[in-house]
Amino acid sequence: MRQGFRQCMSWLHIWSGLLVGWILFAVFLTGTASYFRNEISAWMRPELQAAAPGAEPVRLAIETLQRTAPNSPSWIISPPDERGGELRVFWREPGARRFATAVLDPATGEPVRTRESLGGNFFYRFHFELHMAPLWGRWIVGFCAMMMLVAIISGIVTHRRIFADFFTFRPGKGAGRSWLDAHNALGVLALPYHLMITYTGLITLMVMYMPWGIQAAYQGDRQAFVNDVFGTAALVKRANQPAPLTPIAPLLDEATRRWGGPPGRIDVQQPGDASAVIRMTRRDAESISANPQTLTFDGLRGTLLSASGEAAAAAATRGVAYGLHLGRFASPLLRGLFFLSGLAGTAMVATGLVLWAAKHRHRHARNGRAGFGLRLVEALNLATIAGLPTAMFGFLWANRLLPLHLADRAEWEVRCFFLIWALAGLQAVLWPGLRSWAAQFGAAALLGLLLPVLNLLTTDRHLGASLPAGDWAMAGTDLVAAGLGLLLGYLAWRLVHRAPARQALRGARLARAEGA
Amino acid sequence: MALLGFGLAYAGFLGLSLAMDRHHAELLGGRPATARRRLLRGLGWGLLGLSLLPCLALWGTGIGLVSWLGLLTAAGLGLILLIPYAPRLALWLGPLLPLAGLLAWPILVA
Amino acid sequence: MSLAARIPAGWRRLRAWHWPGVLSRTIAAVLGGYALAALVATAFAAWLPASRAEAVLTGMMLSFLIYAGAVIWVFAARSAGRAWAGLLPPVLVLAALLWLTGGLA
């Protein structure tokens, strides 16, 4: 029972990583895709032309809301920005708890009739809710993130030669050597990112995970806490005196003058009433911190009521953490680097899972039959690591191939995603082994590589049109999908052509090494 | 300037890796003498430190630091992939990337 | 010695670590660790001499590090008994102090 600290940590690293590894892989991969949530959403609604930012879309949105939701106590307008986002509005029917939402045409203000699709929001929500009931999904993801934090810390302790093994990658070496090298390199080189993204991920949902301080200091009044943190005033009470809303354009100008850019969000409280208030929130792309800076205007006279100032230390820290996690930076290079680091994290989880299976497969090869645990891990590895990318590309394909006016079309896209994933799982259970790995990586590679072709056949915003037009949401999604397809194709090709010989060699070499 | 930061980070990692027996043998052949090892290691850390400067100049403190860490990751991963597959290229990129960064600097800034 | 060389040993150790011990540690880590983290968060909220929101936020953000630290401690301890012995006193002391000072409103 007496072992060294490092060995205990090694045990903890292996088991904490293995137990939640499959969910972590899914969380990492969908989260990485979510760095391009806007771009994926735009790709999935090809009818919607990229909107130009400016005051006009906001004015049109307000006109539409005045017509369609005059009695709503609250409107939220999310205008398009330079990244080609959509003009989206939210409103709440009196008495309703949830917000209704619609995407508007920025040129006319009318609700757009595009194909129904969840767009990039599907990956985004899956990333922290796993497409489950929010309460369940968020707690499960939170638990896994906590395990991830433990796995990272214990992994650092375990990996004694953390700097000596820094650059070592020996492809084609025996029995998990290469997997271990890759796992180490991916883990160590992107270590700041891994620590940051795990910890800040917990922080984004901490009010849910750790409400006890609010319980003690605010008697559980979360809204009061949120108002204190963000320096916002409580909701205004309706005066029940009809009054016209002030024109929005001068307020937008004021916000643009103060911030050097238009606001990222406009809230109108009690529109059409004498108590109306308009609040503008600064776009979070201009600095790391996503601590919202707001300007609050009188809704009738248009005078500035208050401007939220500098956040205090802890609130500022939270803002930085939140901003880092979401990575909505203006700089495309930095977003690219985050995407790369996210892929590194995904690959780190995958290599860790494969490493476990490779080690145990090797031991069982000597002892005889593979046990149930190993077969379970191998099936889950295949279904997750190869199955999820296939299903994610399949989701994009479903968006183009499903009939445009299918009832519940958005829901059907999601069903296609899960159907493909389930098929991958079935194959993993029925036909475990390298062939199935190659088949699934191959399928994912084809789906990715041919995505630009599919886009060419089904829309007029293919690469030939989108590249000259500088339509980066469209072209970027096509190109990144094709690039990832190429990478997956390389993996499949390696599995088909090199694996058998390598495996024999690997076994012999390891036997020698262990005999020595 | 981003390319300069990336190039310096790459060269820094290359220096650090060359200060290790295994990678010195792979890339240059033989074991490095103690003095040479010290020099390479010092050069490596120095270049890594230098690579922070263009990031800070380009993006300011907050975004600059975050971008720097991202560039370090990208440069390190690139080097790790190049060492086994294309060792000569890995070596040549050491001086070439920072040079390209320096040359591209006035073009990109202008 | 690298991680790879130790994995078989890790497997053997799991057999040696009888499952009641592992189960006990797991409970200590998951539930005990959360209890400690929640109490620390509450203690910060109640006692940190800063504005209410700042105190609550500080405690919340630190609690996850406390949780991670507690899990590491539980699995690094020599035995499950020692793990509990290290974890329970701070939990009980914090809970008692908070209760006495009315922090557990």
Confidence band of A1 (pLDDT split at 50, 70, 90): very low
pLDDT computed for residue A506 by the predictor? 43
Picking from B27, B80, B85, B91 by the largest number of A CB atoms within 10 A of its own CB, the best residue to mutate is B80
C-alpha to C-alpha distances, B30 to A185, B23, B26, B90, C41, nearest whole angstrom:
24, 9, 8, 17, 56
Read off the pLDDT of each residue in A340-366 and give the average, rounded to a whole number: 90
The label of the residue with tokens 């919607």 reads A48
Residue contact A334–B67, C-beta within 8 A: yes
What is the least distance, in Å, from the CA of B39 to any CA of chain A?
17
A293 to chain B, closest Cα gap in Å: 17
Query: In this predicted structure, what is the pLDDT of residue A35?
Result: 93
Span A32-56, mean pLDDT? Answer: 84
For residue B87, the one-letter residue type is P
User: Which residue of chain B has the CA closest to A186?
Assistant: B77
Q: Residue A147's closest chain C neighbor by CA?
A: C68
Q: What percent of chain C shows pLDDT beyond 70?
A: 80
What pLDDT score was predicted for residue A122? Answer: 94
How far from each other are the two terminal CA atoms of chain C, in whole angstroms?
52
Averaged pLDDT for residues A302-306? 84
Cα A473 to Cα A78, A265, A292, A306, A387: the distances in Å are: 18, 21, 26, 36, 26
Res A470: pLDDT: 82
Among chain C residues, the shortest Cα distance to A152 is held by C68
Question: Domain range spanning residue C60?
Answer: 18-100
List, in order, residues 6 or more apart from A391 with CB less than 8 Å away: A417, A418, A420, A421, A424
Confidence of residue A3 (pLDDT cuts 50, 70, 90): low
Predicted confidence at residue A167, as pLDDT, reads: 75
The answer to whether position C105 is within a domain reads no
User: Is position C4 within any domain?
Assistant: no
With cut-offs at 50, 70 and 90, classify the pLDDT of residue A285: low
What six digits make up the tokens of A408?
């519940």
Contact C38 A1 (CB under 8 A): no
Split into its structural domains, chain C has a count of 1
- Of the spans A98-107, A499-508, B75-84, which averages the highest pLDDT? B75-84
- What mean pLDDT comes out for the span B78-101? 89
Pairwise CB contact (< 8 Å): A166 & B73 = no
Whether pLDDT at A286 is above 80: no
Of residues A332 and A130, more confidently modeled:
A130
What does the pLDDT average to over C68-79? Answer: 91
Closest CA to A417 of A444, A436, A438, A439: A444
Residue that has been written with the tokens 């890995």 in this structure? B90
Check whether A141 has a pLDDT greater than 80.
Answer: yes
Name the 3-class secondary structure at A15.
helix
More confident residue, A92 or A21: A21
Q: What is the mean pLDDT of residues A288-311?
A: 79
* Mean per-residue pLDDT over chain A, rounded: 85
Q: How confident is the model at residue A2 (pLDDT cuts 50, 70, 90)?
A: very low
pLDDT at B53: 93
- Closest approach of A168 to chain B, Cα-based (Å): 7
Percent of chain B with pLDDT over 90: 45
Cα separations in angstroms, A312 against A229, A336, C67, C99: 9, 31, 25, 29
CB-closest option in B67, B73, B80 to A167: B80
pLDDT at A201 over 90: yes
Mention every residue, 6+ apart, whose C-beta is less than 8 A from residue B98: B4, B7, B8, B10, B11, B47
Average pLDDT over residues A238-264: 85
> What is the average pLDDT value for chain C, to the nearest integer?
83
Instruction: Extract the tokens encoding A188.
Output: 């160590």
Domain count, chain A: 1
- Outline where A260-331 has alpha helix (H): 313-326
pLDDT at residue A230, rounded to an integer: 77
What pairs with residue A306 in β-bridges?
A296
User: Using one digit for the tens of pLDDT, what is the confidence trace for C8-56?
Assistant: 554 555 555 567 888 999 999 999 999 999 999 999 998 888 888 899 9
- In 3D, which of A421, A415, A413 has the Cα closest to residue A380? A421
A176, closest residue in chain C (CA to CA): C4
* Residue of B77, B81, B82, B83 to mutate when probing chain A, most A C-beta within 10 A: B77
Q: Give per-residue pLDDT as tens, A493-507.
A: 988 886 544 444 444
pLDDT value, residue A48: 79
Give one DSSP letter per residue of C4-27, joined into a string.
HHHHHHHHHHHHHS-HHHHHHHHH
Residue A273 carries which DSSP code? B
Mean confidence (pLDDT) of chain B: 88
Nearest-CB residue to B74 (from A166, A186, A337):
A337
State whether B66 and A288 contact (CB < 8 Å).
yes
CB A390 within 8 A of CB A410: no
Task: Name the burial class of residue A105, with classes exposed (0-12), middle (13-18) and buried (19+) by CB atoms within 10 angstroms of its CB.
Answer: buried
Instruction: Report CB contact under 8 Å: C8, A212.
Output: no
Nearest CA in chain A to B58: A331
Higher-scoring residue by pLDDT: C8, A135:
A135
pLDDT at residue number A162: 67
Q: Is A398 within 8 Å of A118 (Cβ atoms)?
A: no
pLDDT of residue C1: 38
Please report the pLDDT score of residue C40 as a whole number.
95
A98, exposed or middle or buried, with CB in 10 Å at 0-12, 13-18, 19+? exposed
CA dihedral A13, A389, B68, B25 (to 10 degrees): 70
CA distance A321 to A30: 20
Looking at residue A111, what is its pLDDT?
A: 84
Check contact B-A (3+ Cβ pairs < 8 Å).
yes
**β-pair type (A294-298, A304-307):** antiparallel
Nearest Cα residue to A26 out of A489, A436, A477, A417: A417
> Model confidence over A356-383: pLDDT tens digits?
998 888 877 777 777 888 899 999 999 9
Place of tokens 């929010």: A134
- Show which subunits contact B, needing at least 3 CB pairs below 8 angstroms: A
Residue A303's pLDDT band, with cuts at 50, 70 and 90, is: confident
Q: Which residues of B touch A (CB under 8 A)?
A: 2, 13, 16-17, 20, 22-23, 59, 62-63, 66-67, 69-74, 76-77, 79-81, 83-85
* pLDDT classification of C3: cutoffs 50, 70, 90: very low
Q: How far apart are CA A55 and CA A44, in angstroms?
A: 26
Separation CA A475–CA A460 (nearest Å) = 12
8 Å CB contact between A211 and A238: no
Backbone φ and ψ for C51, nearest 5 degrees, come out as -65, 160
Which chains does A contact via 3+ CB–CB distances below 8 A? B, C
Tell me which chain B residue has its CA closest to the CA of residue A178.
B84
What DSSP assignment string belongs to A201-215? HHHHTHHHH-THHHH
In this predicted model, which residue has the larger pLDDT, A421 or B100? A421
Distance separating alpha carbons of residues A148 and A169, to the nearest angstrom:
24
Domain boundaries, chain B: 2-109
Q: What residues in B contact A192, CB-CB < 8 Å?
A: 69, 73
Residue A266: enclosing H or E segment and its boundaries? strand A265-269
Per-residue confidence band for A163, with pLDDT thresholds at 50, 70 and 90? low
Q: Are residues C72 and A312, on separate chains, in Cβ contact within 8 Å?
A: no
Judged by average pLDDT, the poorest of A29-38, A106-115, A338-347, A360-369 is A360-369
Residues in chain A closer than 8 A to C6 (CB atoms): 7, 10
In which domain, by residue range, is A295 found? 55-113+232-308
For residue A10, which of C13, C18, C64, C27 has the smallest C-alpha distance? C13
CA distance A184 to A167: 9
What is residue A400's predicted lDDT score, i.e. its pLDDT?
93
Region of poorest pLDDT, from A466-475, C24-33, C85-94: A466-475
Three-state secondary-structure class, residue A298 = strand
Chains C and B touch (3+ CB pairs under 8 A): no
Tell me the Cα Rg of chain B.
14
Most confident of A18-27, A108-117, A405-414, C1-10: A18-27
Contact A248, A276 (CB under 8 A): no
The residue of chain B with its CA nearest to that of A182 is: B80
What pLDDT score does B109 carry?
A: 52
Q: Do A337 and B67 touch (CB under 8 A)?
A: yes
Smallest CA–CA separation between B45 and chain A, in Å?
A: 13
pLDDT for residue A485: 96
Distance between B82 CA and the closest CA of chain A, angstroms: 10
Best CA proximity match to A337, nearest among A197, A460, A177: A197
pLDDT range class, residue A22, cuts 50, 70, 90? very high
Measuring CA to CA, which residue among A442, A417, A487, A489 is closest to residue A44? A417
In this structure, of A310-314, A385-389, B31-35, the range with the lowest mean pLDDT score is A310-314
CA distance C77 to chain A (A): 8
Contact present, A346 and A29 (Cβ < 8 Å): yes
Q: Stretch A469-488: mean pLDDT, rounded?
A: 92
**Complex confidence, ipTM:** 0.91
Angle (CA) A273 A276 A277, round 5°: 175
